[in-house]
């Protein structure tokens, strides 16, 4: 584990906001258990729990908390200067931090996603949506890490993006689906699970190509922004 | 190793924070003095590569500091903002620095740096539990771990008690004597009494004065002063004071006397003598223009 990744992990786990990650997965599993125990058929609730709750809410929100935590929090409290004042190329700071964000987000999402998928129709669906949520974790984390370098208010901006763009527009306006991370993740989950319970709105090639393009673009943005990082404010 | 600042300006919109500063820092200790808001931090951030200059160049041994991480092999920075990973111990914190620098033997470098700032004894405690001075020393250790040629410190004495301050100044002087180029900023002149080196004085973004600290120190003690004086007989005291060569003027007000002295030292020595001779009791003596701005602007004029 690189030193940057080590200090990032310690910083992330040491902060109180990390606890925010716990309720959503627990809630998602709990919500899935209710119809299961009451004997409702999976068709009736999978869409709501896996798509609306999982892919539209849990995954981006967890990615937002973690993604803005690995770099944004250090920019906020100024500890970033300790890492920046070292002779290391900036990509070697961004990439380990991003990997930590992806790892934590993917792991936090994987557990409830697998359980809910398995409850609905067995391990195949569980694994399939875990593949989809992991792809989603990669893209969302990259976006939010980049966002914390572009804006001084990454959490607010990220929340608006998650709610308005991913939550509202990509569900209401079909044209924006091709530009929705949620749709890429869902499509990949659908193909991986081959389950009739999920349906997708973009084709697999589009989802794969767009996932790569979006990730690479935001990764480059993040590295470039960190390279010309200026300390602002508080001059005396 | 020299740090070369050439024609550097930095502005934020319409506000000019640093205005056409040129200076060369050589091995030894240099104090960057000036009141709050003079642009010291902005200048230090530019030197450390954390801010691009709007105009001009900053270079360490010919290498630009902006967008050039390689420069940190020779440069150490202790920022003003007291941001530390409070959940780490001093040893872990310094060790992280050593590893990020890619030093061949990070553990040995860490031990050496902690020893230099005399923190070896407390190295296993969490930084969050330290006193201000200990935290500051830990930060200095982290900045020194790769044995940099140039060390920049922003307000390192802030919040330190006199003993800690002496300690730190002693450390900086030792490093300076060992051939390192040390620059620290301060807005309190009294903080830098033990400084053995040169000073650069900044006022309102401009480099206002530079030179040997002792010269500046002398100018400071002999600077003109305004005192508010109250006594049992203000009018008679005023007459007596006007005979003094060190007094430039006296105003008689309802609250007492306002005395403009040309020279701090001789006036404060003369006043008790005069009062004793005239049989007047001085009830109050207050220096009334001790603001930093007035001291610094005096230094600039001198």
- Strands B256-261, B225-231: parallel, antiparallel or unpaired by DSSP? antiparallel
- Minimum-distance CB partner of B83 among A79, A227, A236: A79
Q: Quick check: A79 and B142 CB within 8 A?
A: no
Considering only CB atoms, which chain A residues are within 8 Å of B87? Answer: 10-11, 14
Q: Compare B27 and B265 and report the one with higher pLDDT.
A: B27
Whole-angstrom CA distances from B279 to A128, B227, B233, B238 are: 100, 20, 9, 13
Contacts of A205 (CB under 8 A, 6+ apart): none
pTM (two decimals):
0.86
Contacts of A33 (CB under 8 A, 6+ apart): A119
Length of chain B: 302
Buried b (16+ CB within 10 A) or exposed e, B10-25: beeeeebbbbebebeb
Give pLDDT, residue B83: 76
Considering only CB atoms, which chain A residues are within 8 Å of B110? Answer: none
- Strands B206-212, B282-287: parallel, antiparallel or unpaired by DSSP? unpaired
- Considering the four listed CATH numbers 3.40.50.720, 3.30.1300.30, 3.30.70.920, 3.40.190.80, the one that applies to the domain covering B223-301 is 3.30.70.920
| Structural domain boundaries in chain A | 3-227
Considering only CB atoms, which chain B residues are within 8 Å of A90? Answer: 69
Q: Is the dihedral of CA A227, A228, A234, B4 positive or negative?
A: positive
Q: Quick check: A7 and B96 CB within 8 A?
A: yes
Residue of chain A minimizing CA distance to B50 = A230
Q: State chain A's mean pLDDT as an integer.
A: 91
Share of chain B above pLDDT 90, in %: 59
Interface probe with A: pick from B83, B92, B126, most Cβ of A within 10 Å: B83
Q: How confident is the model at residue A115 (pLDDT cuts 50, 70, 90)?
A: very high
Considering only CB atoms, which chain B residues are within 8 Å of A228? Answer: 52, 67
For the domain B3-220, what is the CATH code? 3.40.50.300
pLDDT tens digit sequence for A17-27 = 788 888 999 99
pLDDT tens digit sequence for B169-180 = 899 999 999 999
Give pLDDT, residue A234: 46
Query: Is B176 in contact with B29 (CB distance < 8 Å)?
Result: yes
- Minimum-distance CB partner of A230 among B52, B81, B88: B52
Contacts of B228 (CB under 8 A, 6+ apart): B255, B256, B257, B258, B259, B284, B285, B286, B288
Question: Is B128 an 8 Å CB contact of chain A?
Answer: no
Which of A44-48, A189-193, B11-15, B188-192 has the lowest average pLDDT? Answer: B188-192
Residue of chain B minimizing CA distance to A79 = B83
- Minimum-distance CB partner of A77 among B73, B83, B143: B83
Give pLDDT, residue A80: 92
Which of A59-68, A89-98, A140-149, B201-210 has the lowest average pLDDT? Answer: B201-210
Q: Quick check: B77 and A81 CB within 8 A?
A: yes
Rounded CA-CA distance A90/A224 in Å is 8
- Minimum-distance CB partner of B50 among A4, A77, A230: A230
| Structural domain boundaries in chain B | 3-220, 223-301
pLDDT tens digit sequence for A36-85 = 888 888 888 988 899 999 999 999 999 999 999 999 989 988 889 999 99
> How many angstroms away from the CA of A3 is the closest CA of chain B?
7
Residue of chain B minimizing CA distance to A11 = B85
E strand or H helix that includes residue B241:
helix B234-242
Q: Quick check: A87 and B36 CB within 8 A?
A: no
Rounded CA-CA distance A219/A68 in Å is 14
Give pLDDT, residue B302: 61
Residue of chain B minimizing CA distance to A85 = B72
pLDDT tens digit sequence for A145-167 = 999 999 989 999 999 999 999 98
Give pLDDT, residue A129: 95
Q: Compare A235 and B185 and report the one with higher pLDDT.
A: B185
pLDDT tens digit sequence for B82-117 = 778 888 999 999 999 999 999 999 999 999 999 999
- Minimum-distance CB partner of A236 among B41, B88, B97: B41
Contacts of B24 (CB under 8 A, 6+ apart): B2, B3, B4, B5
Considering only CB atoms, which chain A residues are within 8 Å of B41? Answer: 234-236
Give pLDDT, residue A236: 35
Rounded CA-CA distance B280/B20 in Å is 53
Q: How confident is the model at residue A170 (pLDDT cuts 50, 70, 90)?
A: confident
Give pLDDT, residue B190: 67
Give pLDDT, residue A201: 80
Which of B72-81, B245-254, B260-269, B284-293 has the lowest average pLDDT? Answer: B284-293
Mean pLDDT to the nearest integer, B13-38? 92
Give pLDDT, residue A128: 95
Give pLDDT, residue A235: 40
């Amino acid at each position: 584990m690189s030193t940057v990744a080590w200090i990032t992990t310690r910083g992330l786990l040491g902060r109180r906001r990390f606890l925010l990650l716990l309720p959503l997965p627990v809630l998602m599993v709990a919500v899935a258990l209710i119809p299961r125990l009451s004997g409702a058929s999976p068709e009736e609730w999978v869409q709501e729990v896996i798509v609306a709750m999982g892919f539209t809410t849990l995954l981006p929100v967890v990615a937002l908390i973690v993604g803005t935590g690995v770099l944004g929090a250090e920019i906020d409290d100024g500890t970033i200067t300790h890492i920046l004042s070292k002779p290391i190329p900036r990509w070697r700071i961004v990439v380990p931090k991003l990997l930590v964000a992806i790892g934590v987000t993917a792991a936090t999402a994987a557990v409830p996603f697998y359980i809910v998928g398995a409850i609905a129709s067995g391990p195949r669906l569980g694994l399939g949506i875990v593949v989809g949520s992991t792809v989603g974790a990669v893209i969302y984390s990259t976006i939010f890490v980049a966002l914390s370098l572009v804006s001084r208010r990454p959490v607010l901006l990220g929340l608006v993006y998650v709610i308005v763009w991913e939550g509202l527009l990509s569900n209401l306006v079909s044209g924006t689906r091709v530009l929705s991370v949620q749709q890429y993740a869902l499509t990949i989950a659908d193909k991986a699970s081959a389950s009739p319970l999920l349906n997708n709105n973009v084709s697999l090639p589009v989802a794969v190509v767009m996932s790569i393009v979006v990730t690479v673009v935001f990764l480059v943005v993040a590295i470039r922004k960190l390279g010309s990082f200026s300390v602002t404010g508080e001059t005396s | 190793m020299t740090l070369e600042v050439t024609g550097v300006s930095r502005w934020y919109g319409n506000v000019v924070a640093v205005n056409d500063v040129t200076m060369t820092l050589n091995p030894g200790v240099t104090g960057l003095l000036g009141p709050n808001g003079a642009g010291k931090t902005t200048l230090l951030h530019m030197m450390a590569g954390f801010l691009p200059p709007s105009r001009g160049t900053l270079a360490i041994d010919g290498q630009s500091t902006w967008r050039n991480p390689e420069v940190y092999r020779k440069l150490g920075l202790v920022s003003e903002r007291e941001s530390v990973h409070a959940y780490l111990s001093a040893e872990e914190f310094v060790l992280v620095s050593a590893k990020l620098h890619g030093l061949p033997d990070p553990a040995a470098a860490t031990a050496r740096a902690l020893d230099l700032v005399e923190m070896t004894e407390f190295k296993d405690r969490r930084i969050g539990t330290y006193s201000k001075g200990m935290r500051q020393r830990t930060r200095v250790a982290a900045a020194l771990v790769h044995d940099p040629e140039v060390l920049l410190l922003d307000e390192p004495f802030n919040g330190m008690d006199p003993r800690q301050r002496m300690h730190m100044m002693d450390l900086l002087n030792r490093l300076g004597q060992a051939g390192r180029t040390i620059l620290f900023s301060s807005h309190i002149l009294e903080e830098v009494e033990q400084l053995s080196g040169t000073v650069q004085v900044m006022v309102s973004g401009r480099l206002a004065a530079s030179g040997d600290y002792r010269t500046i120190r002398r100018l400071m003690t002999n600077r003109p002063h305004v005192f508010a004086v109250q006594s049992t007989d203000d009018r008679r005291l005023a007459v007596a004071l006007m005979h003094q060569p060190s007094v430039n003027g006296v105003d008689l007000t309802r609250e007492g006397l306002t005395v403009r002295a040309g020279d701090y030292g001789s006036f404060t020595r003369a006043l008790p003598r005069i009062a004793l001779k005239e049989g007047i009791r001085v009830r109050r003596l207050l220096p009334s223009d001790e603001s930093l701005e007035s001291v610094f602007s005096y230094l600039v004029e001198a």
